[in-house]
Amino acid sequence: MSGWLVRGLGLALVNVVIRTVLGLAISEWPLHGSPLRWLSVAVMVLLGIVWGFFDGRRDRRKNPDPERGADLTMLWLKAAVLGGLVAGAVSWIVDQAPKFDLGDNPLFFELTSGAAWTILLIFIPALIGVALGRWLASRKDRKAEKAQKAQQAAPVAVGAGAGSAEPVPQPSEGYFSEDNYSDRNYADENYASDRYSGETQSVDTYYGEPEETDYNESTGRHEQQTWQPPTERRD
């Protein structure tokens, strides 16, 4: 069943029920006829606003682009025309039954002036509800978009992994440095291994202070050279 058909028939039924209850209430409390009429109008208007609000909010969530949204104006216009005509005809039929007083209006009045009034009670509140629903849905989407942009624009720490709490070593630090070793323990370990590799290096070499050493075959160790000043030659 089409959406406008459901809305038109549903609101027509509500209109007939309200008019029937209003006629019975006025028969019981004839001095309160005016407040009861205004109350019935308020109920009809509120129902149209609520139904239109849900339509507008659902349409805006489904189609964020306003130009691609559904034509709810024509939807509710057809629903209002159908509701006005059906409500007028059914109200006239109910009014013919005994003990029911819906105004004693002729059928022509119910299908023209009465139907026009019902159309306005359905169409205008529904459009107000549609506009309100679309506006609130757009406002919520704008807030979510702003929050997402703010999160994307937040600064991120450079050099740290996504799930790592430890900083990533930088090139200027020990493991990647091309300069002299900054870890003395690491230098001592390498010096101990170099003693048996035959390389002529000492511990000080690892700290950027190279020295000249001689290999002593009798001891099997590298020994530091002792510099002696040259002796003067006398003729």
- 49 belongs to a structural domain: yes
Residues 94, 32: one domain?
yes
The H helix count followed by the E strand count for the chain is: 7, 2
Q: pLDDT tier at 18 (50, 70, 90 boundaries)?
A: very high
Residues 41, 120: one domain?
yes
pLDDT at 68 over 70: yes
What is the residue range of 192's domain? 177-216
| Range with lowest mean pLDDT among 12-21, 60-69, 192-201, 224-233 | 192-201
Residues 136, 182: one domain?
no
- 43 belongs to a structural domain: yes
- 154 belongs to a structural domain: no
Specify the residue for token string 């507008």. Answer: 56
Residues 123, 204: one domain?
no
Residue 170 has what pLDDT? 56
pLDDT at 183 over 70: no
* Alpha carbons 207 and 187: distance in angstroms, whole number: 8
- 168 belongs to a structural domain: no
Residues 134, 206: one domain?
no
Residue 207 has what pLDDT? 46
Residues 107, 12: one domain?
yes
* Residues, the chain: 235
- 207 belongs to a structural domain: yes
Residues 95, 194: one domain?
no
pTM of the model: 0.59
Residues 18, 130: one domain?
yes
- How many structural domains compose the chain? 2
- 172 belongs to a structural domain: no
Residues 118, 212: one domain?
no
* Average confidence (pLDDT) over 36-49: 94
pLDDT at 69 over 60: yes
Residues 89-142: tens digit of each pLDDT:
999 999 888 888 888 889 999 999 999 999 999 999 999 999 999 999 887 666
Give Cβ neighbours of residue 85 (< 8 Å, ≥ 6 apart).
111, 115
- Which residue type, as a one-letter code, is found at position 54? F
- 165 belongs to a structural domain: no
Residues 204, 109: one domain?
no
pLDDT at 10 over 50: yes
* Average confidence (pLDDT) over 217-232: 60
- 187 with 181: CB under 8 angstroms? yes
Q: What percent of the chain has pLDDT over 90?
A: 41
Residues 38, 128: one domain?
yes
Give Cβ neighbours of residue 35 (< 8 Å, ≥ 6 apart).
none
Domain end (from 117, 141, 165)? 141
